[in-house]
Chains A and B, each alone.
Chain A
Amino acid sequence: MDFKLPENTTMIADTARRYLKDNYSFDTYIAQLNESNHLEANRWQAMNDLGWFGLPFAESVGGYGGSLLDVCAIVQELGAALCLDPFVDLIVSPGKLLEFANTPTSLALLDRIIAGEARVACGLYDRHAGYHVLNPSLRLNGERLSGQKHVVSDGGVADAVLVSAMSGDELVIVALPFDACDVERYRLLDGSRAASLTLDDVLITDEMVLCRGDAAKQAVSAWFDYLCALDCARMYGACREVYQATLEYARTRKQFGRTIGSFQVIQHYLVDAFIDLQQLESMLLMVSVKGESANVGERGRATAAAKAYYANRAVGITQQGIQIHGGVGVTEELNIGHYFRLVTHASLSHGDREHHMSRFIQAGEKQNEVV
């Protein structure tokens, strides 16, 4: 086994860290939090110039052939910077779904995403189906699509959406313009922008259906696992910052005439966080490789375990970070509480802890069947 990051991945991570340090401060984040449009033209162009738009996709479909590990390296830094630029929502998430769908129409749309010309979001969730992405409540009856999509993350700017729906027993993925839907926009827990879409007998032509049946299932399932891994990367970046900031705070904050880091109970909390962070890093490395494994069973088991573990321990680190900071930890003016919201958010997107525990159990049963 070898846990060293490839040189290329290290370079991507370093570049991302430097770029965000120079271009995305806590103040930038606070300002963006108050915007309803999260697509800031200069930074968007800068990300494009850095090659991030093509990185997640295979060379055969017009991308630069980056691995999930590479994309995780970027997303980790985005999490560490609290960055709300919709790189995942408008590039990676729709792009990977289109790549996995792998049809001429989907790849043509992917081309436009890589070129930075499309504003496409993914609408794979609704409150009725919850996290069960293979069984959405949206219905395609003949040519008519009806129902709802919730928490469609889009940076507040998407003009098109890829939605999943059931057509009889068959899963379909459909691309349609936002203006075919009734749209309600809002902010999410982590500060990002999203929308609820209501579709009322929207006319769907054949060319709007990107794929269906087993192909659609495989695409959505691969997309889900990929996004789970990115959630972990984002949470890891945030936890890393919370741990560092909290350690620094414990070294400098004085009460009773001494630094609070001199108290044993605080030391033990911080050691717990250190050990948890070490294990979170191990799980991230694991899921960054297995999250795009060709072995579907292994892939699902890995992402389920990682997300379930993160929903427990990553959330724990940010909770403890607030506790050690005391009163200032619960204020909007300090970054710690914002990291807590980010991590909580990421622990609830693409499956919460119990959802992933169930997946993990099912994956184990399947594993036993094979044996």
Chain B
Amino acid sequence: MNLDFSNDEKEFRKSIRQWMKENVPDDIRRCTARGAMPDKNMQQRWERLLGSQGWLTSTWPEQFGGPGWSATQRYIFDQERASAGAPPTSPFGVAMVGPVLYTFGSEAQKERWLPGIQRGETLWCQGYSEPNAGSDLASLKTRATRNGDHYLVNGQKIWTTQAHWADMMFCLVRTDSTVKQQQGISFLLIDMKTPGLEVRPIYSIDGHHHLNEVYFTDVKVPVENLVGQEGMGWTIAKFLLTHERTTIAGVADIHYEINRLKSAIDALPTETDKQLAVRRLAGLEVDLMALEYTNFRTVAATDEGKPFGPESSGLKIKGTELQQRVSQAMVEIGGLMSLPWDNEEPIGEQIFNQASRRYNFLRACTIYGGSNEIQKNVLAKMLLGL
């Protein structure tokens, strides 16, 4: 038992902290401190900056261009990234399609797509959900029909985050409707500029445009964009569920949010308001500590070569619940100050000015990536044997 970081890890932290201090662009830092979301330009500048250091793909094995960090180093990096006020990186390229490609892709596919992800140049989106295939993903209907050297894709995807920013989509499509649902699904890479592909915005309750519908009408996708074999799509999708989840709980960003909220308590009107806010924050901090130590255990286990399997779903469930509770606390503690929606100048503390947008945005986090209820179904089956 040892709950301390090693001296090497402390040195690593110091060097990352220094780098963050010197390199996180001011406009991005200010944006995060306000509680706002980075726009495409900020997000991409930040990811390219990390890419230029070789840090964007920190979870990748060295042979595919990862920096060779341990899980503990990645965890420390994430802590320093969040406390420096820099946003998390977009998961679609780095955490999803990248690992799929270096695990299941052909040499040609790796050569073609991995460098763009590493450098933060190619933006990806995820074509999974459909209007009638949300939690029941395997029932998806978007069809890909083989036609010589290409597929013709027809159908519709929905809830596609950042489709309007993306250069490429990785997409689950049905290539065979005569076999068991799960066996007829394939994994395709689709260029977002292909004729017949149309992106329509969905505005979410935070007032912003993150989500989209994507329509496919006879979209031609070259056969070389099939990853693995036809019918392997479901296996690949499941692989992603257990791949590197040591930062899935969002502990570092929750710390940042709690600290932001702490800094605003002095602005509350009365002593009682302050005391109640302090008490509420302490409750959140205690719960965060339990989550964080569980997270440390998964990190330590990963470094020992025994990564957690489905147990890490617990981190996702507790982490997203806590993110929501912190965002709700921020709105409720802000009270009146949380009501203005689109004013430039806050009527009180700056942090409460965007708090309600963030609160609205985070209602999605217990839904995306497999709703918490679906995660619990999976855990009940895989771990509890029910």
Contact = CB atoms under 8 A, between A and B. Distances in A.
Nearest to B378: A271
Contacts of A2: 1-2, 300
Interface string B295-311: 01101110000000001
A2 B297 CA distance: 8
Nearest to A266: B386
Interface in A272-300: 272, 274-275, 278-280, 282-283, 285-286, 288-290
A35 B78 CA distance: 56
Contact of A357 (B282, B293, B301): B282
Interface stretch (B52-60, B118-126, B154-162, B283-291): B283-291
Contacts of A364: 282, 285
A1 interface: yes
A1 B3 contact: yes
B386 A262 contact: yes
State which size class the interface on B falls in: 35 or more
B286 A308 contact: yes
Given A3-B1, A279-B294, A289-B3, A274 B282 contact: no
Contact of B377 (A251, A264, A289, A308): A264
Given A251-B385, A361-B278, A309 B285 contact: no
Nearest to B291: A279
A1 B293 CA distance: 10
A1 B376 contact: no
B282 A360 contact: yes
A159 to B, nearest CB: 38
A1 B4 contact: yes
Contacts of B283: 308, 357
Interface in B2-24: 2-5
B380 A275 contact: no
B285 A360 contact: yes
Contacts of A361: 278-279, 282
Contacts of B2: 1-2
Interface residues of A, number: 40
Contact of A282 (B4, B290, B376, B384): B290
Nearest to B292: A282
A3 B286 contact: no
A268 interface: yes
A3 B377 contact: no
A251 B383 contact: no
A6 B1 CA distance: 7
Interface of A: 1-6, 9, 69, 247, 250-251, 261-262, 264, 266-268, 270-272, 274-275, 278-280, 282-283, 285-286, 288-290, 305, 308-309, 313, 357, 360-361, 364
30 contacts: A1-B299, A2-B1, A6-B1, A9-B1, A69-B1, A247-B386, A261-B384, A262-B386, A264-B377, A267-B380, A267-B386, A268-B373, A268-B380, A270-B384, A270-B386, A271-B383, A274-B314, A274-B383, A274-B384, A275-B314, A279-B291, A279-B318, A282-B290, A283-B293, A305-B285, A308-B286, A309-B287, A313-B290, A357-B283, A360-B282
